[in-house]
């Protein structure tokens, strides 16, 4: 039995789908039973519970050989960092008591740093907690920036006719599609070919600059001359708050972007076949970004 937490999320859903396609017996975890039906209709077990509660996670992990551990994104909460700690505490307690021997986590590039990386600090702490569990074989996946984060720029493009962002225009960095993370997690969960505690970076298909990204996004949405503009971090923070994000979460994201610009989120591994994943930025722009951009524009 393989347990998938965050089964309706960006990486949990493709992980669950891939495991089912491989014929694995899985249990999907979520808060909304109706949203889990897409998996139970294909033979998965389901468990509806709160990831912040250790006793519920212990029941969710009962009988499992391996688990995929995701801290669900909830930046709309003004206590996001405390929320992260409660979930990683619950996971660690449940793993110890349930006796699960294998775990794959969704961590992040930069999780080797204990401070000054915004939400990634919570992932560092999760790694440390799980590494201390006797007998647990745990693989921490450290993916690059999600290409899906570009969806936050849709309103900025519509209002300013430029792609706004926090990174310098000409510095290449890796980005990855979340479905590739889920597929990779499923592969390692099924094989369970890791021991002790280890990390694996996932770097997407290639490094790209924000200037290149603007060209790719612009071509997909019918704006071939779309330019990129690096915005001052205080201005981005104000924009996030005006969009409804709590001030605490906006500050965390700004700290994250600042740390990226200072090199704290740079990959530690040389790019290789092992850490390169297939889905391109061009595919994302055509298949995901453009449809969402055009729907938003049609509603305006």
Express each pLDDT in 97-137 by its tens digit: 999 999 999 999 999 999 999 999 999 999 999 999 999 99
Instruction: Tell me the sheet residues that pair with 197.
Output: 138
In 3-state terms, what secondary structure has residue 162? strand
Instruction: Tell me the sheet residues that pair with 165.
Output: 230
What CA–CA distance (Å, rounded) separates 34 from 3?
18
Domain count, the chain: 1
Quick check: is 232 in a domain? no
Residue of 89, 80, 91, 116 whose CA lies nearest to 29: 91
What CA–CA distance (Å, rounded) separates 95 from 125?
16
Q: Provide the 8-state DSSP code for 216.
A: H
Q: What is the mean pLDDT of residues 81-106?
A: 96
Quick check: is 27 in a domain? yes
Q: How far apart are the first and last CA of the chain?
A: 47
Quick check: is 23 in a domain? yes
Confidence label for 32 from pLDDT (cuts 50, 70 and 90): confident
Quick check: is 109 in a domain? yes
Nearest-10 Cα torsion for 250, 251, 252, 255: 130
Whole-number CA gyration radius for the chain = 19
Quick check: is 249 in a domain? no
Q: For the segment 249-300, what is each residue's pLDDT rounded down to a tens digit?
A: 999 999 999 999 999 999 999 999 999 999 999 999 999 999 999 998 777 6
Quick check: is 216 in a domain? no
- In this prediction the pTM is 0.95
- The structure tokens listed for 93 are 């307690």
Quick check: is 196 in a domain? yes
Quick check: is 276 in a domain? no
Residue of 34, 33, 30, 36 whose CA lies nearest to 50: 30
Give residue 107's domain range: 2-146+175-202
CATH number of the domain where residue 126 is located: 3.40.50.720
């Amino acid at each position: 039995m393989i347990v998938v937490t965050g089964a309706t999320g960006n990486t949990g859903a493709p992980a669950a789908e891939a495991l089912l396609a491989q014929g694995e017996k899985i249990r999907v975890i979520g808060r909304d039973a109706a949203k889990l039906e897409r998996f139970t209709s294909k033979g998965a077990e389901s468990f509806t519970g709160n990831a912040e509660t250790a006793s519920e996670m212990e029941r969710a992990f009962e009988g499992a050989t391996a688990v995929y551990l995701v801290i669900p994104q909830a930046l709309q909460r003004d206590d996001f960092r405390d929320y992260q700690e409660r979930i990683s505490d619950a996971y660690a307690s449940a793993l110890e008591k349930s006796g699960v021997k294998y775990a794959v986590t969704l961590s992040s590039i930069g999780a080797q740093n204990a401070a000054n990386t915004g939400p990634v600090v919570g992932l560092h702490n999760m790694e440390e907690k799980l590494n201390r569990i006797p007998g647990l074989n745990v693989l921490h996946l450290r993916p690059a920036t999600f290409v899906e984060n570009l969806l936050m720029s849709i309103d900025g493009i519509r209002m300013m006719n430029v792609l706004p962002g926090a990174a310098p225009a000409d510095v290449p960095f890796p980005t990855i599609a979340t479905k590739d993370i889920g597929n990779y997690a499923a592969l390692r969960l099924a094989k369970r070919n890791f021991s002790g505690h280890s990390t694996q970076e996932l770097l997407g298909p290639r490094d790209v600059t924000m200037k290149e990204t603007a060209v790719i996004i612009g071509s997909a949405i019918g704006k071939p001359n779309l330019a990129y503009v690096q915005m001052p971090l205080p201005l981005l923070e104000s924009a996030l708050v005006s969009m409804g994000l709590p001030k605490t979460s906006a500050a965390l994201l700004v700290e994250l972007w600042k740390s990226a610009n200072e090199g704290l989120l740079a990959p530690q591994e040389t790019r290789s076949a092992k850490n390169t994943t297939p889905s391109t930025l061009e595919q994302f722009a055509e298949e995901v970004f453009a449809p969402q951009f055009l729907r938003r524009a049609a509603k305006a």
